[in-house]
Structure 1
Amino acid sequence: MLAPLLFWLNIMTNSAQNPEITAPLTLTVHQTAKALFDQYQHPKKAQKVYLNALAVGAVDYYLSCLGIKTAKPTPELNTMVDAAFTDSAVLNIASSGKIECRPLLPEETECFIPLEVRDNRLGYVAVRLNAELTEAALVGFLSPQKLAELPLQERIDLEEFDPVDNLFDALEPEPISATQRLHNFAEELLALGWKKLAELVTIPASEPAFSVRSPTTLPKSPLLNESYSGIKLGKVLDFENDCHVVLAIGIRPAENEEVEVNLDFLPEEKKPYLPPDLQVSILDEQNEVVMYKKTKQRHKNFPFQFFGEAGDSFRIRVVFGDRSTLESFYL
């Protein structure tokens, strides 16, 4: 209870003198930032990623204290900082969308908003980090509509930003149809390198046999059925000893506004079975293992099914030999 109480005191103190809202940069936030920092060898890129992660952590703390559900930032959650491709610091808001969190150094009077992060955002929060990197001040909010009215440039004067309270207007979820939600899910995965399952798996119309980039026969699977009514995507996972496994995922609407998630693992080309001792874990939002299975001999596929709600996140951890991979998803 102490942290939220101190946070509310910060709001009350600043509201009388300054519209800025402060949030602590906790040890957990720094640990997440350091884990991301360590993934990059170029010093400038690594520093940028670190500061982006601190900004995301500050906004996440602010919203969580107010009871607003977010997809918790972790080094494994690629949607937090799309650092490998862009200068982006994204925080996912459950049932709403993405907030871009832009870090500011202590003396900066302009906020850098790269052109590549101007789509698919609910808005932009300017986050001023103190010199010691122990706390951050949320100094303003800029809506996409207002940003579009400004001259096309990447550095925006802080005077153009509205008070942070305006963020809450952007968080009001607009009604989204089930079809649109499926489309958004697919678009985000495709942007991360996933492919339509039909590009990895061929489904002959004449007979119920399936192949992965070759005529290799595979078992019947819900995701490899032409009548499956949801989004179907796939990704090739690479492991040691030149072992490749296709991870297939499908989602479709279920009853009571839930989402049905179907997963399947398929053998690589020219091999009829998955490798034995392939370990698959499904992790929930708290990183707790909720499902676990390990392949045995002569597994032709390896299906999972579960249900979630809009705003839920989960992860899939796949371990084979000494190598593991982690895939993160946000419904």
Structure 2
Amino acid sequence: MNNLVQSPSIPLTLQDRQWVQRLVVQSGCQGEKLRRLIPNLLAVRAIAHWLDIYDIAYDWSSSYSTQPLLHLGEEVADLLLSGLGRLECRGISPQQQTVQFSPESWSDRLGYVVVEINADLTTGRLLGCVEQVSAAPLTKEMLQPPDFLFGLIAQAELQKAQSSVANTIENGLRTAASVIHQWLTTAQEQAWQMAEFYLLEPSFSPVRSANTIERIIDKLHSAGSEAARQRLIITLGEVVKPEDAASVVRELTQIIDQTGDEDTRWLAAGTLARIEPRHPQAAHRLQKTIGAELNLADTALNLLIALMPAPDQTINGSIELKTANQQQSLPPGTRLTLLSAENEFIDEIAVTGDQTPGKNLLKIGLTIDPGTNFRIRVTVGGESITEDIQL
């Protein structure tokens, strides 16, 4: 049981008692319900005074305890801590050894506080608190010290901060994803076509059973190399059925959030797009076949753009130039250049004449702000073509 040092005494003023009197009269409560309501409301006032000492904000107007008619049907005596949750308060007499909380207060509460109210209603002694209650009565010995309440408040503040960060990230992803989808629609009207992210073969082709997805996910968690993980991600995308979608989406988003390998992140986000195209973390890839404009005879080139939403509302981009036939090489001197909309140089990669064997892929990564326009230029010999991209 808490000792007197641990249980601070809190003066209850005439104003406190008048506030309680007005509420109980307006509530219309009588008999036993009225007998319990008065100390409970005084406990609310005592806790408010105690919180004032530590500059912990609360909201009278949104607390259930300030609504008179509510007390006719429910036994509630809460104090809403702004943005954190409700403290449910109970007042007991010095002789009372147990306290009961009614079912309507068993959930949606930050914590439960017990205050001992003296006989002349001029002092409340904060006995302690608990985080959860049930149908069983609480004895005084079961209460945590009053300082335990600071831990509950700190935990709620941390959860609030984490929720705020999560909401910011979610909003950022959705903003970026919306821009990507708008561009996908426009680009496909300009000869761009959807392209897969798969550069590897699936890890295996299992005979589907009730636990196929679980087995693949287990293998993912124990994979010994990044290449093995990537093949298993592809396998998930190949064998998933509608009934598996929720668990696979959950696994893929965890990989996107946690992996340190960029290729794995892109592959997971691209696989996610196959399952849930509108997911805010899905990556999309478009390609356009070029070559005739560059006088390459029988060599066809594919220009690819992949876009993936980022949590800060930006878009991660990947631009690739590759031969349509993987057995062919890009001509020496081929250049892939990234320019601003005003033709200012940003980045470039090229095939040099001394590269043996010849390269069949050029790739540039970039970070894009929504609303940014840029240009992609492909140059072979003395010929070049330019694609304008508007996001």
The two structures share one fold, judged by TM-score above 0.5: no
Q: Higher helix share goes to which structure?
A: 2
Compare CA radii of gyration and give the structure with the larger one.
2
Instruction: Bin the TM-score by the shorter chain.
Output: 0.3 to 0.5
Which one has a larger percent strand, Structure 1 or Structure 2? Answer: 1
